[in-house]
Amino acid sequence: MTLQPTSIPDVLIIKPKVFTDHRGYFFESFNANTFKKLGIAIDFVQDNESYSRKGVIRGLHYQLSPYAQTKLVRVVSGRIFDVAVDIRKNSPTFGQWVGIELSDENKYQLLIPKGFAHGFAVLSDYAIVNYKCDEYYKPEADRGIRYNDPEIGIDWQISPEQAIVSAKDNVHPALKEAELNFVFGSTY
């Protein structure tokens, strides 16, 4: 497994070592010891999986501290454009976003730390997305930011006419109006 930094240093691309032969492939998507050797000591407590069709945009989601979640996102089947937005007050990258294509072909994973909002757009006919969290889902801490906030300016890699967004995600506030309790440099 190797780590690749993104334009926002705390968001990391994880590239697993994939073994292929005439039967198919094998790789470790998570190994606590390997992660610790790479400097990532996270105790994941919950796995989530979603199925979505082409054009679906899910996000931008986060949970307020002390229930903030670090997420390790990967695609089981299909192709997505995965996005993390820095929502840590006083961060030099506050309001900036990073996006990467995750697919069943490249097998990359995106590690999104606490203090970031997360979302993705489905680029293939459908996608099955799995992600680990280091905190349990808490409905009372669940928050979101509007996926098409012009001040953030995410290029979702799909046209606005093609976007399929839930009623809940359509009414999230813009970043400047969102409830945030993350401060750069703090541990959550």
Could you read off the pLDDT of 59-86 as tens digits, one per residue? 999 999 999 999 999 999 999 999 999 9
The residues, ordered by sequence, that sit 6+ positions from 72 with a Cβ below 8 Å of its Cβ are 14, 30, 42, 44, 109, 110, 111, 112, 131, 132
Residue range 149-167: mean pLDDT, rounded: 96
- Rounded CA-CA distance 111/107 in Å is 13
What is the Cα gyration radius of the chain?
A: 16
Q: What's the whole-number average pLDDT of the chain?
A: 96
State the pLDDT confidence band at 188, using cuts at 50, 70 and 90: low
Count how many domains the chain has.
1
Could you tell me if residue 12 is inside a domain? yes
Could you tell me if residue 185 is inside a domain? no
CA angle 170–174–175, rounded 5-degree value: 135
Could you tell me if residue 9 is inside a domain? yes
Domain extent at residue 41: 2-177
Active-site pick, 62, 108, 131, 147: 131
pTM of the model: 0.94
CA angle 70–125–8, rounded 5-degree value: 30
Indicate if the pLDDT at residue 185 is higher than 90: no
Concerning whether 61 is annotated as a catalytic residue, the answer is yes
CATH of the domain at 36: 2.60.120.10
CA angle 84–87–89, rounded 5-degree value: 150
Could you tell me if residue 89 is inside a domain? yes
